Amino acid sequence: MGITLLMDENELQSSRYVCIVTDHELYNLAIIHSSQFCGKSLVFSILNAQMVLMSQEDIEDPAYWMEKLGVVKEDIEEIQAFFYTALGQRESVNAYY
């Protein structure tokens, strides 16, 4: 039995790698903006090798992303503030449709 390739696309993506130090923790994150994720960005924790798809709306719900990205409760507000700027630095995916 062979494989069926359902999709194979190339695109230029915007990638950002950041190292954030707070009073409580160190965070190494990769943020990848792509038109493939329905307007969301892929946020990857390099330290714990987990990722989450996030939009501006998802920032409001730390329960959705804090554990996956290894964010401690004491750092939620600071990391949220960072995400508001980092996830807002791309063009809307809707502009391409």
The whole-model pTM stands at 0.80
At 77 the pLDDT is 96
Q: Which pLDDT tens digit goes with each residue over 27-81?
A: 999 999 988 888 899 999 999 999 999 999 999 999 999 999 999 999 999 999 9
Task: Tell me, letter by letter, the H, E, C secondary structure of 3-57.
Answer: CCCCCCCCCCCEEEEEEEECCCCEEEEEEEECHHHCCCEEEEECCCCEEEEECCH
In the chain, domain spans: 14-90
